[in-house]
């Protein structure tokens, strides 16, 4: 059983990350991140748009854990596109986090949030941002680079116009939202899929079939859903501000779902 995945550039990434989306800047983000690190998480995922990079950075520092033992991800704001703009935004994130380098940097979305577009008209600007990513990667300021919320068509254009292929695509993924075309494309191109909202922000935790599985395995519904994601070869990013749940969400390595139960929970077609 592996507690890590290996990206297409050879970098090892912890197989479960602590997500910080919707955790506001301040003591809540600080305490949640510190609790996650104390619980054993070594992969922390944030973003400029979350507005909590400073609190996350403070928790990283105060944890006392060696920098090289923690895998830190943040993301380029969706409304920032272009080469110089990306370099400047990266500098701000690094300063917010109080770090000298990032382990993973992602383009957060194909298009700016709230824009009514399929995103293809932003691909030239995304390519320019990606060239900035490549520069930072080559300089050793980022250990790995990737994207978020990109569809296969967007990924294809980016790959055709870049020197370095994305290592990660972070997408919304849980048993009731399975984007099979995107999964297939990423698998075929050796791009690791990170699953954000693996618990559907709590919306599916009351599902009867998940409760049935939880009872069968003697685990919580959240653990069943996170384990499902992990066994599919995805990298789940569960989020919580409750210390007990933070600990529980990481405790999914001592059991295995049967192939039949995996399909029952959510079949990848």
Contact 229, 238 (CB under 8 A): no
Instruction: Enumerate the β-bridge partners of residue 254.
Output: none
Predicted pLDDT at 35: 98
Compute the distance between CA of residue 75 and CA of residue 96 in angstroms, rounded to an integer.
Answer: 12
β-strand 168-172 against 192-196: which pairing, if any?
parallel
Task: Output b/e per residue, 66-91; b: 16+ Cβ within 10 A.
Answer: eeeebbbbbbbbbbbbbbebbeebbe
* Under-50 pLDDT residues of the chain: none
Predicted pLDDT at 59: 98
Predicted pLDDT at 269: 85
Predicted pLDDT at 207: 85
Predicted pLDDT at 210: 96
Catalytic (active site) residue 120: no
The active-site residue, picked from 50, 105, 137, 210, is: 50
Where do the domains of the chain lie, and which CATH numbers do they carry?
4-266 (3.20.20.100)
Predicted pLDDT at 1: 53
Give pTM, 2 decimals: 0.97
Cα distances (Å, whole numbers) of residue 164 to 78, 159, 249: 20, 8, 33
């Amino acid at each position: 059983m592996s507690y890590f995945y290996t990206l297409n550039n050879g970098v090892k990434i912890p197989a479960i990350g602590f997500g910080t989306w919707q955790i506001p800047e301040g003591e809540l983000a600080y305490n949640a991140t510190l609790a996650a690190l104390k619980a054993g998480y070594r992969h922390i995922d944030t973003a400029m748009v979350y507005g909590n990079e400073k609190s996350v950075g403070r928790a990283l520092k105060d944890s006392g854990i060696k920098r090289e033992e923690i895998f830190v991800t943040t993301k380029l704001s969706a409304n920032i596109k272009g080469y110089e703009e990306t370099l400047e935004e990266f500098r701000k994130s690094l300063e917010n986090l109080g770090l000298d380098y990032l382990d993973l940097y992602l383009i957060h979305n194909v298009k700016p949030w709230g824009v009514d577009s399929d995103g293809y008209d932003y691909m030239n600007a995304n390519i320019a941002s990606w060239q900035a990513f490549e520069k930072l990667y080559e300089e050793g300021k980022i250990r790995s680079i990737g994207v978020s919320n990109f569809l296969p068509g967007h990924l294809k254009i980016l790959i055709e116009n870049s020197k370095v292929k994305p290592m990660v695509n972070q997408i919304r993924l849980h048993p009731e939202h399975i984007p099979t075309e995107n999964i297939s494309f990423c698998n075929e191109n050796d791009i690791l899929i990170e699953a954000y909202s693996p618990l559907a922000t709590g919306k599916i935790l009351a599902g009867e079939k998940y409760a049935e599985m939880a009872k069968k395995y003697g685990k919580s519904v959240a653990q069943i859903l996170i384990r499902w994601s992990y066994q599919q070869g995805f990298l789940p990013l569960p989020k919580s501000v409750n210390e007990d749940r933070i600990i529980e969400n990481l405790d999914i390595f001592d059991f295995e779902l049967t192939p039949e139960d995996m399909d029952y929970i959510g079949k990848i077609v």
